[in-house]
Chain A
Amino acid sequence: MASLKDIRARIETTKNTQQITKAMKLVSAAKLRKAQHQIVNMRPYAHSLLKVIANIAVTERVPHPLLVSRPEPKKILLMVLTSDRGLCGGFNGNIIKFTEQYLKQNSDKYEKTDIIFIGRKAADYFAKRSVSVVDTITKLDKDISYDLASGVAEKAMQNYLDGHYDEIRMVYNEFKSAISQKVVCETLLPVDLTKQTLDLGDAGPIPGFSTDMIYEPDPERVIDQLLVKHFSVQVFRCMAESVAAEHGARMTAMENATNNARDVLNKLTLTYNKLRQEKITTELIEIVSGAESLK
C-alpha cells in the first residue's frame, strides 16, 4: 500500500500533466482556426484556376503532357505527408500504416515506387526500412507557405516531365472536420480534368467561355503556365489540409488526455482520503485504548 506522501506526489504530477495537455489543446485550437482559414482562403483561387484550365483544354483542344495519362503506369512517385511532431493521436500512425500497406500491395505491380517524405514522422519510421527515398522535407511545424509547396511541386513536376515517373500521388490526412481526418491517396499528376471539373462549385464570374478568346501569348503557353501553378496549388492545398488535420487530431488527443487525467485525479483523491481517514481512525482508537488502560 502506498503511503499518503506517495499519493500526494502522484496527485501533484497528474495535475501538472493535466495542465500541460489543457494548454496544448488550447494552442492547437487556435492553430486549427488559422489553418482552416488558410484552406478557405485558397479555395477560390484553386477553383477558378482549374476551371480555366478545363475550359482552355476543352475549347482550344490543346494537348499537354500533364493532361495525358500514360497507359499502364510503371513508375510512381509517392509523396507522404505527415507532421513533424507527435502527440496527435493516430494522425501519423494512420499515414504510416497506409503507406506500408500500399507499398506491400503494389510492390509487384509497379517497377519503381519512389517516396518523398514531407514531415519528420514518416521519414523517421521508414528510415530503418528499405524504401527508396528521394527527398525528405521537414520543419513543417512553422507556417507552411506557398513558396515551400511550389518548390516541392516544381521539382516533382520536372521529374514527371522528364519521364522519371508516370504518376505522382500524394498520401495525406484530409481535413474532414475538427474531430475527424481521413487518410487519402490522391493522384496529382497527370491532371484528371474529367473528374475534377464536376465538383468545382462557385468560383466567381468565369462562365460563358468564349470560343473566340484572344490569347496572349498563345493557348499552349498559357495552359502550360496555368498547369504548373495548378500543380503547385494542389500540393499547397494538401499541405494546408494536412496541417489543419494535424491540429484537429492533436486537439482531440489532448482533450482525451485531459479527461483521462481528470479521471485519474478523482481516483487518486478518493484513495488519498480513504487512507487519511483510516489513519485518523487508527490514531483515535490508539488514544482511546491508551486512556482505557490507565483507568
Chain B
Amino acid sequence: MFKLFFATPDKKVLADVELEEITLPAFRGELHILPGHAPLMTSLGAGVLKYKLKTGDSKRLVISWGYCQVSAEGVSVLAETAVAADEIDPKAVQDHLKESEERLMTETLTDEQLVKVMGDIDRLRAEAAFLSEKAQ
C-alpha cells in the first residue's frame, strides 16, 4: 500500500489516497508501480493512468504531459490535463483529432505549432483509444 498525490494546474487534486497499484504512461512505455518500488522520477506522456484503490476499486483517467515521482512515502503525479471517461465527448475528440491530423498534413507549421499539434494529437489519440477500449 502506498499513497498517491495527484494534481493538475486547474483542478482535480487527489491527496493521500491509498493505493494498491498504479499504472502510468511513462517515458519508456507503460510503468506499473507496486508498493516498495525504488525511488524513481520519470516524465509521462499522453496515455491512460490506471490505479487500484485499497478498497479494490480501480479508476482510469486519460492524462497528457506530466511527471511522476516515486519515493518511500508514495507516488506523486503531476499532469497537465486529466479527464475521466464520462467527461470525454467522443464526437468532439474525433472531430478535433481529424482536424489536427489534417493540419499536420496540409499546412506548413512552425516548430512551436508543430509541437502543439503533435501534443494535441497524442492526447486525442490516447483519449480515443481509451474510449474504444472502454466500449469493448
Is there an interface contact between B67 and A210, defined as CB atoms closer than 8 Å? no
Task: Verify B7–A209 contact, CB threshold 8 A.
Answer: no
- Counting CB contacts under 8 A, is A206 at the interface? yes
Given A41-B13, A236-B9, A208:B41 Cβ within 8 A: no
Q: In the complex the two chains form, what is the Cα distance from A154 to B112 in whole Å?
A: 9
Contact between chains at A233 and B9 (CB < 8 Å): yes
Inter-chain contact B73/A216, CB cutoff 8 Å: no
Check: B28 CB closer than 8 A to any chain A CB.
yes
Contact of A216 among B10, B11, B15, B28 (CB under 8 A): B28
* A215 to B39 alpha-carbon distance, docked (Å): 9
Residue pair B9, A226 in contact (C-beta under 8 Å): no
**Using a Cβ–Cβ cut-off of 8 Å, how many residues does chain B contribute to the interface with A?**
30
- Which of A41, A46, A155, A219: most chain B CB closer than 10 A? A41
| Chain A binding surface, main DSSP class | helix
Quick check: is B40 within 8 A (CB to CB) of the other chain? yes
A230 CB, nearest partner CB in chain B, Å: 11
Q: Can you give 26 A-B contacts (C-beta < 8 A)?
A: A38-B10, A41-B10, A41-B13, A45-B7, A45-B78, A154-B112, A158-B112, A204-B5, A204-B15, A204-B76, A205-B5, A205-B16, A206-B71, A206-B73, A210-B71, A212-B39, A213-B39, A213-B41, A214-B39, A214-B41, A216-B26, A219-B41, A222-B41, A225-B43, A229-B80, A236-B9
Q: What are the 3 A-B residue pairs with the smallest beta carbon separation, nearest first?
A: A204-B5, A210-B39, A216-B42
B residues apposed to A, CB below 8 Å: 3, 5, 7-11, 13, 15-16, 26-28, 38-43, 65, 67, 69, 71-74, 76, 78, 80, 112
Chain A residues with a Cβ under 8 A of chain B: 38, 41-42, 44-46, 48-49, 52, 56, 146, 154-155, 158, 204-210, 212-217, 219, 221-222, 225-226, 229, 233, 236
